[in-house]
Chain A
């Protein structure tokens, strides 16, 4: 038994140390910082000191119009992106699963490739495809008498959604496809005997059977949407329509490094953290329920 304990310590030790140093400690530190602040009085010159300020930073974040706009952008982005990626990937996965697709292996691989492209490069790539003068897409659309400003005000969110969709569609398809493959064939055959056509079988039988996977992917996608940072950060260098506090994550970065206000940044981080923890709680609940069903 002692032998076992030392083995556990040795094999698990490094991971636990990392868990403490790069996860728990920063989390607690963020919470701590959010309640304390470099605080000034009056005009503030020459009198800064660190003080407990209670919920002041939370109050400021939650009433800051730029933070609330960032939350709004995230919601809008999620509302467009999530249905597209989930429904699109389900459709593709069901088509693959139906057995009518030719060159299944290779087309899955092609669909999957964009996932291997680093986010920053995917963004640069699409940025160029959005830039008049460089983009063959814009030239092509002009040929069809379509004038689209991909970096214009009303296209900013759709353009971001497109980048995420390009990166994530194939990946999500592969996950759904694997889940569909795991459905016992007898269940499907039983349905076929009942006279369900391929379309009906897909919608009424296959999709409910992989509900657990769909829910898990959905929540992961929501969490990823909450983290939106790299793509808009890069685009913000190109169009001033995307401000430095465009998403909550960018707000954190801007508060910490442009405004030099770590307490404000920590409060915003903690708010994001709480939302993510609630969602992750939902995942574990959802997953365990899905597993039992």
Chain B
């Protein structure tokens, strides 16, 4: 019995540890600067969420909203195209045999382990030489490459797309491309969503690549924008409430996507790591 209580207490403490900082962020975003410094969150007269939100979206001519759009564009665009490329590649690795397949796949596995940050400098120099540094392309093209997505897609393809169905499509005279689009991709839809979700998150969170590639403030995604505001908050405390509200808005889409699509997250995690 004591064991049972201890177990639940341990879990409860873990859950509080996970949750309380987020609750603080939520409360802190509703108060003005002075109250923020006084940690006095529960007096209604200091409720300033609307002011904070207005300040957030009007600061520096609405640059926050602009950066939000940038993040949406980079993350949604990058993830939609990137996951399609990964899914197609994973499908090919699963369903076709061709020369060099095994060594190519080994390379994919190796590239999963290589930290993106290691490649950032040479990528920046290459982009600079090609004249695409400090453009959207410099932060979108590199993130399309998602070897972990290919690995997941291969696992999903083996699990969800029975060879017999493809065989039947072939007998019906469908081209390989056609059977990928109409049969493979349809059956892989849940896998695609998982890969999309993982990639969306990683692009949304990406910090190193934009930091290296972008110097034009108007191209900054949220992560880089918040980073530059954070540096200013040291000098000007008025940036603190902006940071707090800005952070809250920036994580809302991710937490929502996470909660609503939890099933896909878990399937990706288990496929990726339990194997």
Which residue of A has the minimal Cβ distance to B111? A23
Which partner residue on chain B sits nearest A199 by CB separation? B3
- The answer for the CA separation of A91 and B258 in the assembled complex, in Å, is 24
Residues on B with beta carbons closer than 8 Å to the beta carbon of A169: 14, 17-18
Q: Do the beta carbons of A8 and B92 come within 8 Å of each other?
A: yes
A139 and B39 within 8 A (CB):
yes
Q: Which of A136, A174, A269 contacts B118 (CB 8 A)?
A: A269
A29-B269 CB under 8 A given contacts A23-B114, A111-B14, A283-B113: no
From 54 to 74 in chain A, residues with beta carbon under 8 angstroms from any chain B beta carbon are none
| Given A223-B113, A249-B115, also A118-B122 (CB < 8 A) | no
Determine which of B86, B113, B230 lies in contact with A15 in the assembled complex, contact meaning CB atoms within 8 Å. Answer: B86
Taking a contact as CB atoms under 8 Å apart, the answer to whether A110 and B18 are in contact is: yes
Mark contacts of A6-18 with chain B using CB atoms, 8 A cut-off: 1 yes-contact digit, 0 otherwise: 1110111011101
Given A116-B201, A166-B21, A175-B273: A30 in contact with B3 (beta carbons within 8 A): no
Cβ-defined contact, A117 with B251, below 8 A: yes
Residues of chain A within 8 A of B195, CB atoms compared: none
B168 within 8 A of A: no
Considering only CB atoms, which chain B residue lies closest to A105 in the complex?
Answer: B262
Task: Classify the interface of chain A: helix, strand, loop or mixed.
Answer: helix
Q: Are B274 and A182 touching (Cβ within 8 A)?
A: yes
CB distance from A131 to the nearest CB of B (A): 9
B273 touches A217 (CB 8 A): yes
Contacts of B118 in A (CB 8 A): 30, 252, 269, 272-273, 276
Question: Which of under 10, 10 to 19, 20 to 34, or 35 or more describes the interface residues of B?
Answer: 35 or more
Q: Which residues does chain B contribute within 8 Å of A115, judged by CB atoms?
A: 258
Name the A residues within 8 Å of B234 (CB-CB): 237-238
- For B81, the closest partner residue in chain A by CB is A14
Partner of A230, one of B207, B212, B258: B207
Q: Indicate if A39 sits at the interface (CB-CB under 8 A).
A: no
Q: Answer yes or no: A164 CB below 8 A from chain B CBs.
A: no
Contacting B205 at CB < 8 Å: which of A119, A175, A233? A119
B223 touches A11 (CB 8 A): no
A198 to B3, CA, bound (A): 10
How many residues does chain A have at the interface if contact means C-beta atoms less than 8 Å apart? 99
| A92: interface (CB < 8 Å) | yes
A238–B24 Cα distance when bound, in Å, is 21
* A19-B145 in contact (CB<8A): yes
- Residue A277, interface by CB 8 Å: yes
Interface flag for B61 (CB, 8 Å):
no
Complexed CA–CA distance, A64 and B120 (Å): 22
A95 to B6, CA, bound (A): 10
Q: Is A185 an interface residue (CB 8 A)?
A: no
Contact B275 A291, beta carbon cutoff 8 Å = yes
Give the CA-CA distance A110 to B37 in the complex, in Å.
28
In the docked arrangement, what's the CA distance between A25 and B145, Å? 13
Taken together as a complex, chains A and B put the C-alpha atoms of A27 and B107 apart, in Å, by: 13
Q: Does B88 have its Cβ within 8 Å of any Cβ on chain A?
A: yes
A82 to B175, CA, bound (A): 50
Q: Which of B1-45 contact A (CB under 8 A)?
A: 3-4, 7-8, 10-12, 14-15, 17-19, 21-22, 24-25, 28, 36-37, 39
Q: Which of B39, B121, B176, B247 contacts A252 (CB 8 A)?
A: B121
Q: A115 vs B202: C-alpha distance in the bound complex, in angstroms?
A: 11
Tell me which residues across on chain A come within 8 A of B204, comparing CB atoms: 118
Pair B21/A126 contact, Cβ less than 8 Å: yes
Near A by CB (< 8 A), chain B positions 173-214 give 175-177, 180, 201, 204-205, 207-208, 211-212
Q: Could you say which of A95, A110, A117, A280 contacts B113, with CB atoms under 8 Å apart?
A: A280
B156 within 8 A of A: no
A179 to B271, CA, bound (A): 10
Nearest first, the 7 A-B pairs at minimum CB distance are A280-B113, A7-B176, A15-B89, A26-B122, A116-B258, A118-B205, A18-B145
